[in-house]
Amino acid sequence: MSTRIGTVFGQELRQARRNLWVILATAVLGLFALALALFGAGQGSGLKVDVLTLTAVSLATLSVYLIPLIALLMSYDSISGEVERGSLALTFATPVRRWEVFVGKLLAQTVAVCVAILIAFGTVGFLIGFLAEISRDGVLAWLRLMLSAGGLGAIFVGIGLMLSALTGRTARAAAAAVGVWLLLVVLYDVALLGAIMAAGEGIFATHVFPWLVIANPADAFRLYNLAMIDAAPVAGIDGLSQTLPFPPVAALAALGLWLVATIAIGSARTKRIVP
């Protein structure tokens, strides 16, 4: 079992590297992190938090858009493309189990996203450490950001692969990936804001709304990062992070549930593919 998953993993990781995904993702994430760090350094002196914490907050907000996008782009074609090219028929004809193919691809692409995050955010983190004063809280916030960003990447790789297995056609998988990105990253927040405006203060605002927020992996990721920082300057939905009815770690549990769900649905669906 482990050799077969390892074989799929190695092959997929080699692909991600040769297709320049890792380099591209690293460059995009690194440039955005650097820009936000410079922006944070510019206004840092006026606030009571250090540059690292400040940048972690703004980077968490930006990562919600970027990391799902990168993860979906990397994964949406992975199964449907192989169905269309016919190479999946060869793989499925071997003794490899279908779920091993799904998990092997998921692991490899997650590693690719994580390597990009580690290099990009790690480098910028060190750079800030050299150039500005940092606090212990700032370093912790940065580490939490990198770790949870990896988790967010894993979930959206899982979602992308799941969509790829569900649709079985690259064009449809691409449409579904764009749709899911818009829905989870953009529209969900707008709808929630609308709902809380309409409902006003009450049971919905205190007991339903927070759960709806962490039900979405993108929001759960942002909520976790902001809620763990006391001094974070926040607004809008993120204001919720100060008045949560559950500990911020619950948001991590929500991320975990998403990952398990995408693996379960994706593997089950991969079993039913006729290559």
CA 80 to chain centre: 21
Q: 74 or 180: whose CB is closer to another protein?
A: 74
Instruction: Please give the Cα distance from 136 to 147 (Å, whole number).
Output: 17
- Residue 2 is a binding residue for another protein (CB under 8 A): no
Torsion angle defined by CA atoms of residues 108, 109, 115 and 120, in that order, rounded to the nearest 10 degrees:
170
Kindly indicate which of the ranges 79-87, 107-115, 218-226, 232-240 contains the residues binding another protein, using the contact rule CB under 8 A. 79-87
Q: 3 or 45: whose CB is closer to another protein?
A: 3
Among 92, 102, 188, 221, binds another protein (CB under 8 A): 92
- Per the CB < 8 A criterion, the answer to whether 71 and 160 are in contact is yes
- Per the CB < 8 A criterion, the answer to whether 100 and 5 are in contact is yes
Q: How crowded is the C-beta side of 81, counted as CA atoms within 13 Å? A: 9
- Residue 87 is a binding residue for another protein (CB under 8 A): yes
- Residue 6 is a binding residue for another protein (CB under 8 A): yes
DSSP class of residue 1 equals -
Taken in order 17, 36, 121, 190, the sign of the CA dihedral is negative
Among 45, 48, 93, 235, binds another protein (CB under 8 A): 93
Q: 82 or 189: whose CB is closer to another protein?
A: 82
Among 35, 96, 178, 250, binds another protein (CB under 8 A): 96
- Per the CB < 8 A criterion, the answer to whether 13 and 104 are in contact is no
Binding mask 236-275 for another protein (x = CB under 8 A): --------------------------------------xx
Residue 154's alpha-carbon distances to 105, 130, 195, in angstroms, are 11, 30, 29
Kindly indicate which of the ranges 4-12, 60-68, 145-153, 214-222 contains the residues binding another protein, using the contact rule CB under 8 A. 4-12
- Per the CB < 8 A criterion, the answer to whether 52 and 136 are in contact is no
Q: 2 or 45: whose CB is closer to another protein?
A: 2
- Residue 187 is a binding residue for another protein (CB under 8 A): no
Instruction: Please give the Cα distance from 128 to 106 (Å, whole number).
Output: 32
- Residue 89 is a binding residue for another protein (CB under 8 A): yes
Number of residues engaging another protein in binding (CB under 8 A): 25
Among 23, 31, 90, 187, binds another protein (CB under 8 A): 90
Q: 98 or 144: whose CB is closer to another protein?
A: 98
Instruction: Please give the Cα distance from 222 to 61 (Å, whole number).
Output: 6
- Residue 95 is a binding residue for another protein (CB under 8 A): yes
Instruction: Please give the Cα distance from 142 to 156 (Å, whole number).
Output: 21
Among 45, 46, 86, 201, binds another protein (CB under 8 A): 86
Instruction: Please give the Cα distance from 163 to 178 (Å, whole number).
Output: 11
- Residue 8 is a binding residue for another protein (CB under 8 A): yes
- Per the CB < 8 A criterion, the answer to whether 74 and 64 are in contact is no
- Residue 169 is a binding residue for another protein (CB under 8 A): no
- Residue 198 is a binding residue for another protein (CB under 8 A): no
Query: What's the token pair of residue 139?
Result: 């370093």
Q: Contact residues for another protein (CB under 8 A)? A: 3-4, 6-8, 10-11, 14-15, 18-19, 85-87, 89-97, 274-275
